[in-house]
Amino acid sequence: MTTIPTMVDAPLRRDWTAWGLTASVVVDDPTALDAAERTVRKLLDSVDRACSRFRDDSELSLLRGRLSHGVQVSPLLAMLVASAIQAAELSGGDVDPTLGNELHALGYDHDFAAMATTGTSGLAVRMLRRPEPGWTRVSLRHRLLTVPDDLTIDLGASAKAVTADLAVQRIATGLGCAALVCLGGDIATAGEPRNSPWRVLVQDTPGDPAQQVRLGGGWAIATSSTQKRRWVVDGRSVHHILDPRSGVPAQAVWRTTTVVARSCLQANAMSTAAVVRGRQAIGWLAGQGAPARLVDEYGRIFTTNGWPRDEGGGYRAR
Amino acid sequence: MNARIRGTRVARSVTTLIGIGSAAVALVAGGAFWHSTAEASAASRSSTHTHSSTTSTSTPSSNSTDDSTDSDSSISTGTSPVTPGRSSDSPQATSSGS
């Protein structure tokens, strides 16, 4: 019997590299693919120009040294900062957008793809203790942004997640098709191809346990990892997810944390916070009501809030 | 000047951005942000249970214990946005750390 590929099995996906990661867009309408790719590329560029700390000509970089007095910022930058503060609030401060200085001190001061991961000398992993969380000292009133001089904004993960959310909404509303946007493994969706959930493989590195799941349209999924974006500082391997309370990389209790939520921003905030919270993450995630899957340092899998068991073993929603 | 931003204040700030240039559509996602936790909670009927899955193909390298429960009483009814897939399916995307 001949198998007729479904529409979404046709080449309706584009992949490319941006921000040192893989960007992908999938649509269920072949005539919309080119425009969908343009939409994502344009938005990636806009967000990069607004908030990248790796380029001197970004809006955020150009405002360096002036933010303590309060500056009117662009609508896009204001939205990105507001979203980052939302992520900080949701995570109880575990995801703090004011760790730019700490990341810089660890040597993460330019695009990771261009970083030397074999070793960095002259830097030291130093713990700090802030008198109060940095994000609570940031003020955003409409578009008036004020950041104390001793803090540097790093919108990193939240900007990526917001970009996925925004891109998929633009595609869905502008092109009228179901869409999935994936930025470095953070995925936002809008609609479902032929009313069938999206097929998503959850896996960090090739050696990590993998699971295929189906994700309802309008939902998002994000994975945080302590196995990627690692580099060596003074002989010590570090990763990029910092504990805001210490300013150093969080203890790698989890290799990978994956969370499903209504927006990619929320999923990303919770998956990142789970890394920071270590063993307390499971109880916290359960309380948040978000389906989650965590892989610990031994490769064991923990799930909560309706995350399905692997093939055939979990429950199936209506 | 450096007043702490509470969620409600941020929400108002975001609301004011509606209709301003290219950021407008992002607010659709932003608007769902706070709502979604409650929605997901409502969808989950057993949010306080966790279980240790047996699906891992990795062998623990030690016998260290974990403080999480090992219960099979996790969700068996209700709805969830994430459901099992078939490994024979070709994935449309991969969620991995970055």
Q: Where would I find the H helices in chain A?
A: 33-51, 59-62, 75-90, 100-105, 156-175, 264-277, 281-288
Task: Give residue-wise pLDDT tens across range A159-204.
Answer: 999 999 999 999 999 999 999 999 999 999 999 998 799 999 999 8
By Cβ distance, the residue of A170, A205, A216 closest to B25 is A170
pLDDT at B7 over 80: no
pLDDT tens digits, A67-85:
999 999 999 999 999 999 9
Query: Quick one: what percent of chain A has pLDDT higher than 70?
Result: 85
How many angstroms away from the CA of B13 is the closest CA of chain A? 5
Residues of A in contact with B15 (CB under 8 A): none
Å between A302 CA and nearest CA of chain B: 5
Name which of A300, A293, A296 is nearest A314 in CA terms: A293
Q: What is the mean pLDDT of residues A130-141?
A: 92
Q: What is chain A's mean pLDDT, rounded? A: 87
Residue contacts between A and B (CB atoms, under 8 Å) = 322
pLDDT over 70 at B73, yes or no: no
Is the pLDDT at A292 greater than 70? The verdict is yes
Cα separations in angstroms, A208 against A165, A192, A225, B50: 27, 28, 11, 21
How many CB atoms sit inside 10 A of residue A304's CB? Answer: 30
Percent of chain A with pLDDT over 90: 69
Rounded-to-integer distance, Cα A306 and Cα A127, Å: 37
Among A13, A139, A317, select the one facing B2 at the smallest CB separation: A139
**Per-residue confidence at A117, pLDDT binned at 50, 70, 90?**
low
B19 at A interface, C-beta within 8 A: no
- Angle CA A84–A85–A89, to nearest 5: 120
Give A249→chain B minimum CA distance, Å: 15
Min distance A2 CA to chain B CA atoms (Å): 17
pLDDT-based confidence at B43, cuts 50/70/90? very low
Residue A224 pLDDT greater than 90, yes or no: yes
pLDDT per position as a tens digit, A232-281? 777 777 777 888 888 778 888 999 999 999 999 999 999 999 999 999 99
Put simply, the answer to whether B93 touches A198 (Cβ < 8 Å) is yes
Q: What are phi and psi of B6, to 5 degrees?
A: -90, 165
A283 CB neighbour count, 10 Å cutoff? 16
Q: Is B15 on the interface with A (CB under 8 A)?
A: no
Chain A neighbours among B 41-70 (CB < 8 Å)?
Answer: 41-44, 46-53, 55-62, 64, 66-68
* Three-class secondary structure assignment of A133-146: CHHHHCEEECCEEE
The mean pLDDT value for A60-71 works out to 95
pTM of this prediction exceeds 0.95: no
CA distance A218 to A215: 9
* A37 against A194, higher pLDDT: A37
Is B2's CB within 8 Å of A148's CB?
A: yes
Residue A176's alpha-carbon distances to A30, A185, B8, B24, in angstroms, are 12, 24, 32, 17
pLDDT level of residue A310 (50, 70, 90 thresholds): low
Quick one: how far is CA A52 from the chain centroid?
14
> Is the separation of the CB atoms in A64 and A57 below 8 Å?
no
A214 CB neighbours in chain B (<8 A) are 82-85
- Read off the pLDDT of each residue in A289-299 and give the average, rounded to a whole number: 94
ipTM above 0.90, yes or no: no
- Beta strand pairing call for A211-215 and A236-239: unpaired
pLDDT single digits (tens) A2-24: 444 444 455 599 999 999 899 99
